[in-house]
Structure 1
Amino acid sequence: MNKLYLCLLIGSLSFSKSVDFQEVLDLTLNNNKDLQNTKLDIELSKLNSQKIDAVNFGKLSFINETSRTNHAGYVFNSKLSSREASFNDFGALQYNNPSKVNIEPTNLNYPKARTNITNKITYDLPLFTGFKLQKQKEILKLQQKANEVKYNLNKKELAFEVLKAYNNAVVAKEFIQAAQKAKEAISYVVKSASAFHDEGLVTKIDVKQAKVYKLNTNSKLIEAKSNFALALAYLRFLTSNDSISNVKNLKYISYNISNKKRLYKKALENRDELKMQNIQKQAMKKNIDITKSSYYPTVYSHLEYGFNDDKFTLDENKDYYTAMIGLNYDLFDNTRSIEKQKSKIAYQKSVLNYEKLKDAVKLQLEKALLDLKSKEKILKEKYEAKKLAQEVFDQSNLMYKNQLIAMTNLLEQEANLRKNEAELIVAKYQKSLALAKIATVLGIDFSDTNYNKGN
């Protein structure tokens, strides 16, 4: 039985994994289904662009049409098509009296049912479309570019989510460590109170107060472990990796933020939202050109070669061909100018949205820098507060041993120490998010291991 437990322990350890931020990020980016869907959108946009090229090559078709009918018009037309029409089809044998011009020929009006088989090859080719196909291809190319930018944007947003989740797990782990330290410290207080009580130096109530506090501390430890387990579960969900069982150190995104003007310029260059809006602006401009194409004529061609008979044949006496060039030009259509004006307005709106987004990025950067400045000051104060709280608790513990303060005072200082310790952990986490927020405003890709070089 002991060997079985040992094997299970070794097996569980072999499948457990302690990860850092980069490992979690790489796993998430490789396994994320939404990113994979965005990649497929890129492939679809490439195919849409290729479809325009295919249209320019025209369409070659083989068509087989087999029909059987006693419809007078269709029967006569099929005989003509297969070059089998005769005077008798017009009722020539019935026309024996020239004075009777209203004779209705039976052969023509009531023909026998006939099977007609047409086999043909057709080739349709647009010769000129008023530059419409060309402009549509350019727009589809922009759509492909937009999907690529969208993929990068989704990847950056996912990276920020991963950083929050990873650092949240690290913080949850630190809360466990803090709760364990608190449990050890209060266990020592309980032990001291029990010893003092045995010597008659304190009352029983001191021991009970310390034990109650110890139970509450143990509850906080259980809660901290539960929060850590939930944080790990979320990481396993993001990464699609069930072996993650621990995390390493808190992740800080480092970047040189000394020059605000340079940062704003960097944000304008890197932000994918701006790139997408700029692509939208270009697409709207090309859409104006598409509306202009309706003022041009369209030229097209149709080539056809086939055979027509009451049976399948390749007899050259039954073949035919058709070659046609067509031109379509709208002399008057007042809706064209309306569509043109609408496309111009859409372009103007896209220009305004682009400028509006630039202003929004500037505001986001300003808020992110102010938030970081605030979080750094708070963190500095929390370090000092925790240090002083530790000193006060150590001094209170000494005073309690010398019977200078009551147990309630000692427990109050211990609670104050743990409160400041927790606030310090939260402050470190908030600073890490503030740094990451600046990086996202600047459009930095966390997945690029060189993102903090050459700043």
Structure 2
Amino acid sequence: MPFHPHKKTRSIFIVLLMGTGASLPAAALDFNQCVDLALRQNPEMLVAHARQAEARGAVSEARGHLLPKLAASFSASQSNNALTVFGMKLSQRQATFNDFGAGQFAPNALGVAPTGLDQPGGYHNFGTKLQMEIPIWNGGEIRGRIDQARAMLEAARSGNTMARQKLVYAVLKAYDGVVAADTAIEVADKAKRAAASYVKTSRSLLARGVLIKSDLLSAEVYLEKAELAVESARNARANALDNLATLIGWPEEKTLTVDGPVRPILPAAPLSSLQSDAMAQNAGIVALRHQVKAAQEGIGIARAAYLPHINAMANQEWNGRTLGNAAPSYTVGGEVTWNVLDFARGGSLDRARAKREQTLAALQEAQDKLRLEVAQVWRSAQEAALRVRMRELAVRQMEEAQHMVRLRYENGIETVTGLLRGQAELDQTRAELVSARYAEATERGALLLAIGKLNPQEIVGVGSAPAAEGVSQ
């Protein structure tokens, strides 16, 4: 790619202008700069980024269930409950025969309740515990949740791509809308200058007795219409600038102007190939496929409830009457659980299967709509290109014809009605050419969006010449 130092200089200038807030002359933003600004602050992109971050968190959470869990706890307790106190003494390894009432024991008094055992009085314990839980196998539930989370992450990434491409398309429409509005102002200005010239010529011819007063009035009415058209074109440009400024987050206190027009590349492949590309590359379709995979993993997760779960645990405890004098103890073990009879799990499995069917139906519907959309947009793009060529030819032909009509009018052999009718038709054709060029750009952008290839690299500048072509006086 060739290096353009002036573009780099302009980019640095824009950054400095926005960062300092200095009252410097406004620089024109090119299309890529508008896209960059939109991607950094547009709410749709911020939402898409947040969804992707949420999906990454879900993957991390699911992976965490594969790893052991270690918990630490500290407790301090005071009790006079006989069972609790005896348990405290055992955990502290402080139990004695006297705790069983040995001092009160007599062979002939076996029915005597030992006071030390039944009425121990208040007793306290400080306990510290480390416990580790180790998952071994849970019927494939954990692996299923990891795969499901990964599928949803891929769906979120595709959704992010789709949001990005939709934003690029919105910027394209807004940016070229400003360019089209600028060109429409040029067209309206040319029509106004022509109308003013006709008024001047009509006054001269009226003074020479060639025209009547009504002819001059007709020319003046046409001039007023041309002036109104200029004002309308300027309002349209202001609206287009407001739309673009909102998309890119441009400060209200700064003047916004744009560089030359841009036009997406028109794919040369046949329609059937473009439809195949859309099925494979459209980010919305790709996201739905990942959602189908996630729904399929949901069935596996539901089935895990029918299988045994195996887990292990280990803990280390310290218990004592003081913090610095505690007796250690440990416990290790394993557990196998199997819900042999559980009617609720059948409903969970049915719900997971229904979810998969719903996502499959949504995918099929989206594919059918996209296939039709690609065909319609492709035909519209072809028609738009043909319409631009026809309008360009019509403008050139009508400009030549109007030139001849004007010469005849200036020589008194053409009526003002014919002159103004020809000029109105020329103005209308010029305006239609501006609209046709805008429609061509947006239809091409819609086609690239549908087939999943709408990137700034596919949108090229066409310079200032094409925008002004066919609208000269």
Q: Is 1:300 paired with 2:307?
A: no
The one-letter code sitting in structure 2 at the alignment partner of 1:144 is L
* Distance across 1 between alignment mates of 2:23 and 2:189: 23
1:51-75 CA deviation, whole Å, 9 max, x = no partner?
3333322111221011234444433
Q: Pairwise mapping of residues 347-366 of structure 1 onto structure 2 (< 5 A)? A: 347-366=356-375
Q: Is the 8 A contact 1:270 1:443 kept in 2?
A: yes
* Distance across 1 between alignment mates of 2:347 and 2:405: 83
What secondary structure, in the 3-state scheme, does the structure 2 residue paired with 1:355 have? helix
Matched residue, 1:3: none
Match of 1:132 among 138, 141, 146: 141
Matched residue, 2:128: 119
Matched residue, 1:410: 419
- Mark the CA change 1:341 to 1:351 in structure 2 (over 3 Å): closer, same or farther: same
Q: Is 1:46 paired with 2:61?
A: no
* Distance across 1 between alignment mates of 2:418 and 2:122: 113
- Mark the CA change 1:346 to 1:44 in structure 2 (over 3 Å): closer, same or farther: closer
Matched residue, 1:61: 71
* Distance across 2 between alignment mates of 1:450 and 1:247: 15
What secondary structure, in the 3-state scheme, does the structure 1 residue paired with 2:322 have? coil
Match of 2:430 among 421, 424, 438: 421
* Distance across 2 between alignment mates of 1:100 and 1:446: 93
Once structures 1 and 2 are overlaid, which stretch shifts more, 433-442 or 342-351?
Answer: 342-351
Q: Is 1:276 paired with 2:276?
A: no
Q: Is the 8 A contact 1:174 1:425 kept in 2?
A: yes
Match of 1:27 among 18, 22, 37: 37
- Mark the CA change 1:225 to 1:36 in structure 2 (over 3 Å): closer, same or farther: same
Matched residue, 2:471: none
* Distance across 2 between alignment mates of 1:83 and 1:411: 113
* Distance across 1 between alignment mates of 2:356 and 2:72: 43
* Distance across 2 between alignment mates of 1:409 and 1:15: 46
* Distance across 2 between alignment mates of 1:234 and 1:13: 23
* Distance across 2 between alignment mates of 1:447 and 1:378: 25
Shift of 1:91: 5.5
Q: Is 1:220 paired with 2:225?
A: no
Shift of 1:191: 1.5
Q: Is 1:328 paired with 2:331?
A: no
Q: Is the 8 A contact 2:285 2:363 kept in 1?
A: yes
* Distance across 1 between alignment mates of 2:174 and 2:321: 75
Matched residue, 2:244: 235
Matched residue, 2:320: 309
Q: Is the 8 A contact 2:250 2:256 kept in 1?
A: no
Q: Could you tell me the TM-score, scaled by structure 1's length?
A: 0.85
Shift of 1:37: 4.1
Q: Is 1:194 paired with 2:174?
A: no
Q: Is the 8 A contact 2:264 2:458 kept in 1?
A: no
Matched residue, 2:167: 158
What secondary structure, in the 3-state scheme, does the structure 1 residue paired with 2:447 have? helix
1:115-150 CA deviation, whole Å, 9 max, x = no partner?
321111111111211121112111111122111111
Matched residue, 1:441: 450
Runs of 4+ in structure 1 off by over 6 angstroms are 94-97
The one-letter code sitting in structure 2 at the alignment partner of 1:150 is G
Matched residue, 2:84: 74
* Distance across 2 between alignment mates of 1:414 and 1:194: 18
Match of 1:146 among 148, 155, 158: 155
Q: Is the 8 A contact 1:257 1:263 kept in 2?
A: no
Structure 2, unmatched stretches of 5+, are 1-20, 461-473
The one-letter code sitting in structure 2 at the alignment partner of 1:303 is A
Q: Is the 8 A contact 2:384 2:439 kept in 1?
A: yes
* Distance across 2 between alignment mates of 1:130 and 1:258: 49
What secondary structure, in the 3-state scheme, does the structure 1 residue paired with 2:332 have? strand
Q: Could you tell me the TM-score, scaled by structure 2's length?
A: 0.82
Shift of 1:111: 4.4
1:76-101 CA deviation, whole Å, 9 max, x = no partner?
43233223344555566667795583
Q: Is the 8 A contact 2:262 2:459 kept in 1?
A: no
Match of 2:266 among 250, 255, 258: 255
* Distance across 1 between alignment mates of 2:385 and 2:62: 55
* Distance across 2 between alignment mates of 1:279 and 1:410: 64
Match of 1:290 among 274, 296, 301: 301
* Distance across 2 between alignment mates of 1:450 and 1:269: 21
What secondary structure, in the 3-state scheme, does the structure 2 residue paired with 1:157 have? helix
What secondary structure, in the 3-state scheme, does the structure 2 residue paired with 1:175 have? helix
Shift of 1:105: 5.5
* Distance across 1 between alignment mates of 2:182 and 2:171: 16
* Distance across 1 between alignment mates of 2:279 and 2:416: 60
Q: How many residues in Structure 1 have an aligned counterpart in Structure 2?
A: 439
For the aligned residue pairs, the C-alpha RMSD in angstroms reads 3.0
Shift of 1:314: 4.2
What secondary structure, in the 3-state scheme, does the structure 1 residue paired with 2:61 have? helix
Q: Is 1:16 paired with 2:13?
A: no
* Distance across 1 between alignment mates of 2:368 and 2:50: 33
The one-letter code sitting in structure 1 at the alignment partner of 2:373 is Q
Structure 1, unmatched stretches of 5+, are 1-10
Shift of 1:152: 1.0
Q: How high is the sequence identity, in percent, across the aligned residues?
A: 22
Q: Is the 8 A contact 1:18 1:244 kept in 2?
A: no
